[in-house]
Structure 1
Amino acid sequence: MAKKKQIELTIEEKLQNALVPKEEQPYKIPSNWCWIRLENIAEWGSGGTPSRKRKEYYNGNIPWIKTGELNNGYIFNSEEKITELGLKNSSAKLYPINTVIIAMYGATIGKVGILSIEATTNQACACAIVYKNILFKYVFHYLIYQKEAFINKSKGGAQPNLSQEIIKKHEIPLPPIKEQQRIVNRIESLFAKLDRAKELIENTLAQFEQNKMAILHKAFIGELTAKWRKENNIDLSSWENGILMDFCKINPKKINTKEFDDDMIVSFIPMPCVSDIWGKIVKKELRKLGEVKKGYTNFFEGDVLFAKITPCMENGKSAIVDKLENDIGFGSTEFYVLRCDENKLNNKYLHYFVRQKTFRDEAKGEMTGAVGQQRVPKTFLENYKMKVPTIKEQQEIVNILDKLLAKYNKIKNLEQQLEKIELLKKAILAKAFRGELGTNNPDEESAENLLKEILAEK
């Protein structure tokens, strides 16, 4: 039976199919722009992973990009390289310079990059070879702007996933080509100024962190209280040798919840509610006991919480539990609960101790588990060797540290300025892709004509 002849659409018919219907357009744009879908601005593809069982497929000279290497900027090299044989015997493809890449899977979903080299990618990367009538940098900045929208469209609970089809059907506002260039120029000019400010702030914070670590180091080798010991006629021999579990309980036995009503309201503290910047609990949620008594960590006021997972542990995420609703708290099992023997260990002293970089570096070296999901083993904490001063000297050390570190609080406020810079960037992108940067010329020909040129070549 003869095949039916495929009906060739006219340019006007192709145009109508390419334009996003008015009722599906996300927001209003200038009259000479048009809403289309990402499938119409680029040739899309993905990559692949050569078999890890074949050594001859790796350590070649062809760059092979993974989503963790996407940095919202240019990509100049890759952590791994594959061989011609690996390329030939896998679904990996070689993409040209200026290909725009977006991560489709897992924790990196929505991260973007631009190839400044010819490279291959793994299958978690969606790759766009942008058509010649559209600026690849315009697409790049738009994808960055749409990260949250892509995350919302992703599927799959703990490991959200995008598909190429979801990406290709996503809407993008298309301005005339000259306006695309003006938008890119304005974004990059404004971002350059913000990045300079960000670099200055980060340098200041890095210096602060260095100074703080030096102070903490002196505290825990006895240098900060040398004068105090002399005044009190004691010396370093008063410091007791032991291991951490000699001075505190680690993940002590949970409360017997049978004694309480399941409807009783208690405090709930998930991981994001503990600030790694300030070392404090910044927010508490209220939940019914019945909702949290199973599967969560239990703690009380005065306990020290210490994150066991990467990167939270490395960032010093830890806090002392303060006032709790009905004196009972529950939270993430990704925290260790450290309950001090008040006759041997001051909880503020312990909190300062576990936040020092030296301790965290040692903990990192003992982590177990898959990369990205590693945890500090409980045995590391239990058997951690330490010299502990008397309770009186511990309190003196805490007093000195509180005073010395208080003067850095104003410097630490710079962290908030970093957050403001990121918010400013988002605001700039929002204005850019709405035609609100003051760069649009309404007299320029409609972007629909540009779209017709693209469709005519497809």
Structure 2
Amino acid sequence: MADVKLPEGWCISEIGEISLKCTQRAPKTGEDFIYVDIGSINRELKIIESPQYLSGDNAPSRARKVIEKGDVLVSLTRPNLNAVALVTDNYDGQIASTGFEVIKPLLVNSEYIFSLTRSLHFIDSISGVVQGALYPAAKSSDVQKYEFPLPPLAEQKVIAEKLDALLAQVDSAKTRLEQIPQILKRFRQSVLTAAVSGKLTEEWRKTKTLKPVSELFSKYTYVKNSANLAEKPFRVDEIVETIPNSWMWVRLAKITEIVSGIAKGSKSNEETMLLPYLRVANVQRGYLDLNEVKKIPVPASKFEKLKLISGDILFNEGGDIDKLGRGWIWQEQIENCIHQNHVFRARPYCDEISSKFISFYGNSNGKDYFLREGTQSVNLANINKTTLSLLPIPLPPIEEQTEIVRRVEQLFAFADTIEKQVQDALLRVNNLTQSILAKAFRGELTEQWRAENPDLISGENSAETLLAKIKAERETAKPKKKTAK
């Protein structure tokens, strides 16, 4: 920063020139204290949020640094994450980890120094000299030798006040923006709920004459051994929704052929083919993650049975509860792809069954069914082929299935557009914080104030004079050397 053109009355200083050395001590046996470690810092809000309340008997070896109100804590561990905080009066006299560099400002404004540690220039400066590849940590000297523009004391206070006001507005905007993805998630869920209950197409249905769904079943025959499941009567507690008169409740086995995949490492004496296969991790709720699709050897005789074709509906067997029953449509993105034994595929028997409509239902209301009918423990749950086959589906006529899919995709595309705009806005807000800080440390926020208050930035009130006073104060504060006897 030595080549930066400074405003009138400013000068360049190092952190070590305007601060005192932090004292250290080991907590006494039986002493109760608040311990602030790296994990106690909320990196987003830049505050001490969750310190530990300890006794000296249980104090960790790193609990050594005595902190006071107005001190600035800078984490030396992974400094690029910028875990910094200003010590408030409720932590005055407590103990912090030696993993912090504790800046103890002397005769300068603590809020100004704290804002400085949030700046990208400071972060990049101490992160650029980190030590070690796996667990990078800055050194105390990296912080102490950091050069920065020092304004006169009166201007420091004005800058700190302006930053408080401006950054509070930025944080408020950021908080509102961060809430929108959750709102959109609830919106998508409500769209699916309305779609699979007939409410989304209620007005549309009044203008149409639709073929009865029952006519559909004369166009195909079930796969062998599935008839018993397909025609199993519904229990009263399985039908949890009222559907339009033109719709019909059916078992998934009545409208699709359901097949489990192949286990990795299955042994076979016959010729094998090395094929890509979908795992549980690839099958997400409402989309497929195909960034990493592995290959396994598969018996050639099983290829045709396991090969995925466009329109196949995929369902996860489970694992943790979030994975239970989630899935989406295969659209032949990868040639000759098969699926893992923990992924089921349901193949519609005819073109008058919309794969997307069935998957919409499975990803929304179907999840409750899987949780109720599947096997589950505290955080784990799974379904088997029989449970999936018995999944109740509220099936509309094909014309309405098509209209529902069109409307859902249109509304989801609208939500995706908003989400992208929110992400772009969040990026601009994050950049705005750094832009405001950069302007502050160039003196741009207080340009008019300086013009109106020339006496407060010159002569005895200049930063040069302040720095001389700090130097004299630091000399006075130094402990006297012991004279040898």
TM-score, normalization: structure 2? 0.56
Tell me if structure 2 keeps the 8 A contact 1:47–1:122: no
**Distance in 2, Cα, partners of 1:402 & 1:198:** 28
Change (3 A) 1:342 1:210: closer
1:416 aligns with 2:401: no
- The alignment of Structure 1 onto Structure 2 pairs a total of residues equal to 367
The answer for the alignment partner of 1:431 in structure 2 is 439
The answer for the alignment partner of 1:174 in structure 2 is 150
RMSD: 5.6
Q: Which moved more, 1:181-190 or 1:100-109?
A: 100-109
Tell me if structure 1 keeps the 8 A contact 2:36–2:52: yes
> How far 1:163 sits from its partner (Å)?
2.0
Tell me if structure 2 keeps the 8 A contact 1:216–1:352: yes
Query: Of the candidates 34, 37, 52, which is equivalent to residue 11 of structure 2?
Result: 34
Equivalent residue runs for 1:248-287 within 5 Å:
none
Change (3 A) 1:32 1:349: farther
The answer for the alignment partner of 1:260 in structure 2 is none
1:441 aligns with 2:422: no
Equivalent residue runs for 1:319-330 within 5 Å:
none
Tell me if structure 2 keeps the 8 A contact 1:44–1:129: yes
- Opposite residue 185 of structure 2, the aligned amino acid is E
Unaligned 5+ residue runs, structure 1? 1-19, 51-55, 258-275, 285-295, 307-312, 329-335, 367-375
The answer for the alignment partner of 1:98 in structure 2 is 70
Equivalent residue runs for 1:10-409 within 5 Å:
22=2, 25=3, 27-45=4-22, 60=32, 62-67=34-39, 69-71=41-43, 73=45, 75=47, 77-87=49-59, 91-106=63-78, 109-116=81-88, 117-118=90-91, 119-131=94-106, 133-146=107-120, 147-216=123-192, 231-233=212-214, 235-240=248-253, 298=294, 341=345, 343=347, 387=391, 399-409=406-416
SS at match of 1:180: helix
> How far 1:342 sits from its partner (Å)?
7.2
Change (3 A) 1:428 1:249: farther
The answer for the alignment partner of 2:470 in structure 1 is 454
Unaligned 5+ residue runs, structure 2? 215-246, 267-272, 276-283, 296-307, 317-321, 349-353, 475-485
SS at match of 2:161: helix
> How far 1:223 sits from its partner (Å)?
7.0
- Opposite residue 97 of structure 1, the aligned amino acid is K
Tell me if structure 2 keeps the 8 A contact 1:99–1:129: yes
Change (3 A) 1:81 1:252: farther
> How far 1:94 sits from its partner (Å)?
3.3
- Opposite residue 232 of structure 1, the aligned amino acid is V
Tell me if structure 2 keeps the 8 A contact 1:64–1:122: yes
Tell me if structure 1 keeps the 8 A contact 2:6–2:442: yes
SS at match of 1:62: strand
Tell me if structure 2 keeps the 8 A contact 1:33–1:175: yes
Change (3 A) 1:409 1:63: same
The answer for the alignment partner of 1:273 in structure 2 is none
